[in-house]
């Protein structure tokens, strides 16, 4: 019986003063590392690019929205939160600016270390500059967003009237029942919203009117009319939505703007929330 002995054969070709093995392609000067691989001097071998890199000698990062091995995956988040190796960066609730900065600084150092093992000289400097730009973009985003997950802007309410009532001019509409009151900024005692912090807010209100009454109303800010509506005698929802800059402790509420208006219970609503 004849035994066939199969031996693995590794091809290598001298390039300059080094022997090249592994993932090789033929170039104008002989064999070179293929695109998608880099030359590891320690092992004297062409090796696959680390996750998140591609191109000649793995000198390029995956371009947004691509990330991962051979840049085959796509990020579903904003470009500033898309890491070329790991994809979308997700922060746990309660992360502060300091924690975000520390995380991004760690990623920066890891990228620098990876780049050190791949490239040198001008190519390394170029990649360091790109990493610095990425870090700066992330910090800019974090400064705009604020403390991610800290619920700093978690202020919102929706209140409704609990009984059908006739209101004289200047009377405050009595929103006694709360659907939601995040931040506890709306009071069912005086029917007013008190801003817990300075910022930009949105308010929306709607009066469910009766065919025998006008439904004119106004949104009040610290005692002055900020916006008002004119509603005819008919069965309808009449209201408006506005944005408003408030200082801390400023108050907002809804009043009647006619000698007598009628507001149906549960259908008459007042809502507000902070957006920045």
Q: Tell me how far apart the 2 most distant CA atoms of the chain are, in Å.
A: 114
Using DSSP bridges, classify how beta strands 18-20 and 13-15 pair: parallel, antiparallel or unpaired: antiparallel
Q: For 61-118, how does the pLDDT look when each residue is reduced to its tens digit (9 = 90+)?
A: 889 889 988 888 998 888 878 888 888 876 554 555 556 666 666 666 555 555 554 4
Residue 109 lies in a domain: yes
Q: Is residue 26 part of a domain?
A: no
* One domain, residues 127 and 179: no
Domain endpoint, select from 151, 173, 190: 151
Round to the nearest angstrom and report the end-to-end CA distance of the chain.
Answer: 84
Do residues 81 and 187 share a domain?
no
pLDDT at 80: 77
Task: Name the domain boundary from 151, 179, 194.
Answer: 151
Q: What is the pLDDT of residue 91?
A: 55
What CATH number does the domain containing 240 carry?
2.60.120.40
pLDDT tens sequence across 8-46: 333 333 444 445 555 677 766 777 778 778 787 777 788
Give the tens place of pLDDT for each residue, 159-178.
999 988 889 888 999 999 99
pLDDT value for 255: 93
Whether residue 166 is contained in a domain is answered as: yes
What is the number of structural domains in the chain? 2
- Report which of 47, 52, 16 is spatially closest to residue 31, judged by C-alpha positions: 16
Domain, as residue range, for 82: 76-151
Mean pLDDT of 228-242: 82
pLDDT computed for residue 140 by the predictor: 63
Look at residues 215, 209, 196, 214 and name the one whose alpha carbon lies nearest to residue 272.
Answer: 196
Do 270 and 161 belong to one domain? Answer: yes
At 123, phi and psi to the nearest 5?
-60, -40
Contact (Cβ atoms closer than 8 angstroms) between residue 67 and residue 84: yes
Residues 213 and 270 placed together within one structural domain of the fold: yes
Q: Are residues 186 and 209 in the same domain?
A: yes
Asked if the structure places residue 52 within a domain, the reply is: no
Angle at the Cα of 124 from the Cα atoms of 69 and 132, rounded to 5 degrees: 80
pLDDT greater than 90 at residue 262: no
Higher pLDDT, 114 or 268: 268
Q: DSSP state, 190?
A: T
Whether 123 and 176 map to the same domain: the answer is no
* 162/261 same-domain check: yes
Is the same domain home to 107 and 203?
no
Look up the pTM and report it: 0.48
Whether residue 199 sits in one domain with residue 265: yes
Residues 160 and 228 placed together within one structural domain of the fold: yes
Beta-bridged to residue 19, according to DSSP, are 14
Domain boundary among 151, 167, 185: 151
Looking at residue 187, its pLDDT comes to 95
- Look-up: residue for tokens 């800290």? 150
Residue-wise over 24-61: b if at least 16 C-beta within 10 A, else e? beeeeeebbbbebbbbeeeeebbeebebbbbeebbbbb
Give the lowest-confidence range in 83-87, 232-236, 258-262. 232-236
Q: Is residue 169 part of a domain?
A: yes
Cβ-contact 36, 52 below 8 angstroms:
no
Q: Over the chain, what is the mean pLDDT?
A: 76
pLDDT of residue 169: 87
Residue 35 falls within a domain, yes or no?
Answer: no
- Of 196 and 240, more confident: 196
Same-domain pairing of 147 and 93: yes
Overall residue count recorded for the chain in this entry: 276
- Domain check: are 268 and 193 in the same one? yes
């Amino acid at each position: 019986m004849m035994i066939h002995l199969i031996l693995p054969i590794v091809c290598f070709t001298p390039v300059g003063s080094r022997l090249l093995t592994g993932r090789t392609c033929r170039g104008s000067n002989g064999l070179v590392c293929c695109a998608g691989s880099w030359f590891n001097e320690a092992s004297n071998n062409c090796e696959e690019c680390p996750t998140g890199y591609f191109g000649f000698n793995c000198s390029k990062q995956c371009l947004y929205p691509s990330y991962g091995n051979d840049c085959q995956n796509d990020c579903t988040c904003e470009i500033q939160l898309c890491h070329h190796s790991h994809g979308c960066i997700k922060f746990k609730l309660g992360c502060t600016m300091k924690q975000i900065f520390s995380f991004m600084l760690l990623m920066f150092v890891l990228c620098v270390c990876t780049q050190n093992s791949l490239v040198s000289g001008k190519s390394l400097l170029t990649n360091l500059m790109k990493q610095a730009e990425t870090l700066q973009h992330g910090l800019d985003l974090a400064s705009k967003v604020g403390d991610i997950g800290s619920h700093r802007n978690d202020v919102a309410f929706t209140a409704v009237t609990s009984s059908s009532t006739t209101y004289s001019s200047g009377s405050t509409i009595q929103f006694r029942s709360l659907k939601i009151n995040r931040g506890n900024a709306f009071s069912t005692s005086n029917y007013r919203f008190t801003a817990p912090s300075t910022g930009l807010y949105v308010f929306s209100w709607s009066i469910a009117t009766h065919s025998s009454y006008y439904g004119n109303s106004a949104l009040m800010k610290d005692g002055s009319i900020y916006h008002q509506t004119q509603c005819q005698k008919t069965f309808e929802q009449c209201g408006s939505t506005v944005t408003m800059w408030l200082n801390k402790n400023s108050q907002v509420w809804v009043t009647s703007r006619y000698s007598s208006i009628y507001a149906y219970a549960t259908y008459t609503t007042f809502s507000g929330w902070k957006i920045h």
